[in-house]
Amino acid sequence: MNAAFLALLDNIMWNCLSGPHARFASGTGEVRRYTKGFSPIVGFRDPEHPDLAALARFCEPGEQFYCDIWSGPPPTAWRIEKEATMFKMVWDAEAPQEDPATEAVALRAEHAVQAVELATLTNPGPFGPRTPELGDYFGFFDGPRLIAMAGERMAAGTLREISGICTHPAYQGRGLARRLTSKLVRRQLQRGQTPFLHVMSANAAARALYESLGFRTYLETVVRVITPL
């Protein structure tokens, strides 16, 4: 894969929020955030020297945001709530030959409450009630209960993120997340896109799953949850 193309992943949050998803975001030429209701993610043009003063004009005290790369000390008006590391992984295999989740349901606005409930229970990463508007989301249901889902979030160039991958604890071990992820990979490749995803470094089981599907690690980066005071 072209190195310059893949380098869009280095600062994917900014490249997405200042590019394909600018219409879903607010901010300046130095910092952008998803509009409230979407995933609470922020991107900085220069993530080593983030303009948090500019960001403060577009958020409320107590809001929490995810950002990556930045590892310096916070200014007095901000607090770091959490810090960890995560892997950025990119697809590096042949396309799945068949759709393994033909019975999966396309999630719509009427499923927002169920999607947020599942994300809150399983914590697949930053998620909001409008996040499924950012791409295709699919889920499995058991009656009225949403028991597994996965969908698309960030984008830059032809890179397309698979995100929100989660399964209700009572339904784990059935391969539901694998099937939904493979479904999305297949759809993206058919559109000429390159699938990628994020996984927390401590989540060895999820990383092993994604590697078995065909993803490879591109880089590891700091990820923080930050709050304006």
Residue finishing a domain among 36, 57, 85: 85
Euclidean distance between CA atoms 121 and 28, whole angstroms = 34
Burial per residue of 200-223, b for 16 or more beta-carbon CB atoms within 10 angstroms, e otherwise: beeeeebbebbeebbbeebeebeb
What percent of the chain lies above the pLDDT cut of 70? 98
226 belongs to a structural domain: no
pLDDT single digits (tens) 44-92: 999 999 999 999 999 998 999 999 999 999 999 999 999 999 999 999 9
Res. 147: pLDDT tops 80: yes
Q: Tell me, yes or no, whether 62 and 113 share the same domain.
A: no
pLDDT at 157: 95
Kindly state the average pLDDT of the residues 124-147.
Answer: 96
Query: Which residues are within 8 A (CB) of 93 and not within 5 positions of it... i.e. 6 or more apart?
Result: 213, 214, 215
Res. 152: pLDDT tops 80: yes
Euclidean distance between CA atoms 59 and 53, whole angstroms = 11
The boundaries of the domain holding residue 188 are: 88-220
Res. 2: pLDDT tops 90: no
Task: Using CA atoms of 120, 121, 122, 128 in order, give the dihedral in degrees to the nearest 10.
Answer: -20
Confidence of residue 188 (pLDDT cuts 50, 70, 90): very high
Contact 180, 149 (CB under 8 A): yes
212 belongs to a structural domain: yes
228 belongs to a structural domain: no
Q: How many domains does the chain have?
A: 2
pLDDT at 1: 59
Q: Looking at residue 170, which CATH number applies to its domain? A: 3.40.630.30
pLDDT at 4: 66
Give the chain's mean pLDDT.
96
Contact 226, 67 (CB under 8 A): yes
Res. 190: pLDDT tops 90: yes
Confidence of residue 6 (pLDDT cuts 50, 70, 90): confident
Kindly state the average pLDDT of the residues 215-225.
Answer: 97
pLDDT at 180: 98
